[in-house]
Structures are given as C-alpha cells and as structure tokens.
Amino acid sequence: MDKNFIKEMEAKLKEQQKNLRKDLASFAEKNVHKKDDYNTRFPNYGNKDEENAVEVADFQDNLSLENDLEKNLAEVGKALERIKIGTYGKCEKCGKKMGRERLEAFPAAITCVDCKNLS
C-alpha cells in the first residue's frame, strides 16, 4: 500500500485518537495504570432525591458512552500499531488487502467488509 496513503490514514487516526481521549476526559478519569482506560466520574448535582436520581441516570449513560468510546479508542490504537509494524490495510481475518475505500471510510478497520459482514 502506498506510503502517502498510509501517512494520510495515520494522521486521521491520530486526530480521532486525540478527540476520543478528549471526549472521555470530559466525564471520566484516566486510569494512570492502564493505557487508554478511563473510569466514569460519578456526578454530583446535589443531595435532593431528584438530584440523586439524575446523578444515577447520567452515570449509567456515561458508563455506556465510556464503553463505546474506549472500544473506538482501542481500535484506533490497534490500527496505529499496525501502521508501525507494517500490517496496516491487511484484513486480520482473511489476510487480504483491504480496499482504499474501506480504509478511507473507516481508517481503524482491521477486517475487510466481507469478514466484517460474516462476524
């Protein structure tokens, strides 16, 4: 795969990584012991019953958001790692080269469309 294209994807991935980390940091604490792991903060709106109820609801929402963002962050990190070791753009399942369109649409892709649809 040509170097300029990979450079372009690398820049995109780094941008995504930055944004994901920023989003996570806005409602979660970074785990200093584990890379790209975050723990959602429990919000504190006050001590009234209604306030406590909203705290719990928001906490649950943020927990599932945290999960999604962490998953994306892990995929982006993996793709960047694959660029480093030179396997970027190769499907992890079948080993075939992925098309440019697939990577342009989803730079963190690790499987080709066929394999993705199978799983």
Residues making contact with Zn ion (CB under 5 A): 91, 93-94, 112, 115
Provide, rounded to whole angstroms, the least separation between the CB of residue 95 and Zn ion: 7
Annotate 72-105 with DSSP letters as a single string: HHHHHHHHHHHHHHT-TTB-TTT-PBPPHHHHHH
Cβ proximity to Zn ion, 40 vs 89, nearer residue: 89
Bridge partners (DSSP) listed for residue 29: 39
Cβ proximity to Zn ion, 9 vs 24, nearer residue: 9
Does residue 112 contact residue 100 with C-beta atoms inside 8 Å?
no
Provide, rounded to whole angstroms, the least separation between the CB of residue 26 and Zn ion: 35
Provide, rounded to whole angstroms, the least separation between the CB of residue 17 and Zn ion: 24
What is the rounded CA–CA span in Å between residue 35 and residue 20? 13
Cβ proximity to Zn ion, 78 vs 93, nearer residue: 93
Annotate 42-61 with DSSP letters as a single string: PP---SSHHHHHHHHHHHHH
What is the rounded CA–CA span in Å between residue 27 and residue 38? 9
Cβ proximity to Zn ion, 11 vs 94, nearer residue: 94
Provide, rounded to whole angstroms, the least separation between the CB of residue 20 and Zn ion: 25
Tokens of 73: 């962050």
